[in-house]
Structure 1
């Protein structure tokens, strides 16, 4: 009897508890927190060392993207050619093995032939003229042609004007260059440029420039003022000539495969952040050129500024290149470029 009573009391308590539970208002199950978009890690290649102003712009681009996406998109920057030379990094982007690369117009022209129309010698009258072209319809039309090779043009970067420097003497006219051996990039355009100016172009890797001048393999080279100082070329080639023969735009290219995987919103963030970094880089580059020109003077370099007539002599000497290097479509682009100057 006692066992029965105990069991009855336990059963009564259980039923009471269940009744109590049932009397409470049911609460809906908590909605799980929204799953954030999947984070991605992308890679950007650059042949310049990490301290170079252009590398700083690339890093700023990466940092801005990370900030604007709240850390969802991380862009790892690889400098000093760690992931290959310019051509190989373009090819890696082309086939989706790499996400972004910073390259020169010279390296990219093979993948977008219209780029040749934007890098002809003595084509631009000033930096303002250059960016009026790059920021406008012409620059964007050229960028569009990269898509045929599975690439996306993200933004242009200030390349600096390229000028001649040598170990022998001042240069005022093409005649002063006769017989000189000048290191240039290994491209038909640059080698032909030197032929037109009466010099011998020697295609050598950039990193061999200093030693080649020092050992008299070549008499000089050509580059922008920032590289002239940062690479200590002034030590072996103290004669600098402001001829401004070339503005060869740098750019950031992306793999089309990478961009297609991103949402339209994230793609726009990529473009906006790249533009913000590019505008910073444009001002920083001009400041660097002015600063390094002062350093060149302090180092005792001879800095030669050409007269209008002297510049025209160089322009006339290379004029045949506009026919030999450009097809009709490219010539039409050049005419539009010149009309803006």
Structure 2
């Protein structure tokens, strides 16, 4: 085991969840780690979730939150959840693809007709089934947070159509679906870790990346990327997950409180996210970024081969079900 992961594991074990067995004075602290800044709307919503949980439980339950990658990367924290050394985390649905192959559906470009279609899907049986599908891998989805829509931003070369992506190195997450999308559009998909992306953009290792407006703003990538094209190719939700070893230690009442706090945090985060998106776009414009609105038809046409490749796979019926919800 690499030394850095070993050290983080020992640290996480020291922070392990303590569930006292006394019937009258039981107090449950759940450790929650994530990699985002404390100003990010996701962190603020998790703080709100803790406040709601403490209120519902009369102070007998709490979330102890460790932001800014204090404990490790998304992957490392997920591994700590699996062994029960950490309680909860926030991950992109793309990061769960290795455990739940069906999560790849969220990385498909232009899957949703609009934001209403997106939330209708997440709040349906489809969304719940995907949250539950990780339990064989010792992780359980509690709910979703809005992560907006991802769009392209570039440093030197303006992108307005798929043709403009030809040969351009675009940073993507470590997701084969994301790689396939950019390559199909004509770009050169280049996986780079989030922590190394600013420098990679600055040094020209990649010519651009793709993400939602708040992430573009809070990461300060706008300092080195002066073109932002709102093509909104994917809408990949964040997922709040809990390790099943921790979940199974909770009483039925505690599980109910936590689920209710999750629901209220989701509604709270929707509002924060919308406000943060609008603010972020204004801030990057003020900083000199040229924000453009794409002709989505051109981009939708460019990725049609991706949907043809799904024929006969486990994603085909799932895509059909999601598409039909938008038509209702």
* TM-score normalised according to structure 2 size: 0.88
Comparing 112-121 and 316-325, the one that deviates more:
316-325
Pairing 1:1-341 to 2, within 5 Å after superposition: 36-307=24-295, 311-324=296-309, 328-341=313-326
* Structure 2 residue matching 1:328: 3-state secondary structure: coil
- Offset of 1:64 from its aligned partner? 1.6
RMSD: 1.7
Comparing 327-336 and 79-88, the one that deviates more:
327-336
Aligned length: 305
* Structure 2 residue matching 1:252: 3-state secondary structure: strand
- Runs (5+) with no aligned partner, structure 1: 1-33
- Structure 1 pair 218/281, CA: closer, same or farther in 2 (3 Å)? same
* Structure 2 residue matching 1:303: 3-state secondary structure: strand
Greater Rg, structure 1 or structure 2? 1
- Offset of 1:323 from its aligned partner? 4.4
- Offset of 1:327 from its aligned partner? 5.7
Cα distance in 1 for partners of 2:37, 2:123 equals: 27
Q: Deviation digits for residues 49-87 of structure 1, max 9, x if unmatched?
A: 222110111121122212221221221111111122111
Cα distance in 1 for partners of 2:312, 2:42 equals: 31
Q: Deviation digits for residues 144-186 of structure 1, max 9, x if unmatched?
A: 2112222211010001110001122432211011111111112
* TM-score normalised according to structure 1 size: 0.85
Comparing 282-291 and 64-73, the one that deviates more:
64-73
**Residues 107, 178 of structure 2: 8 Å contact kept:** no
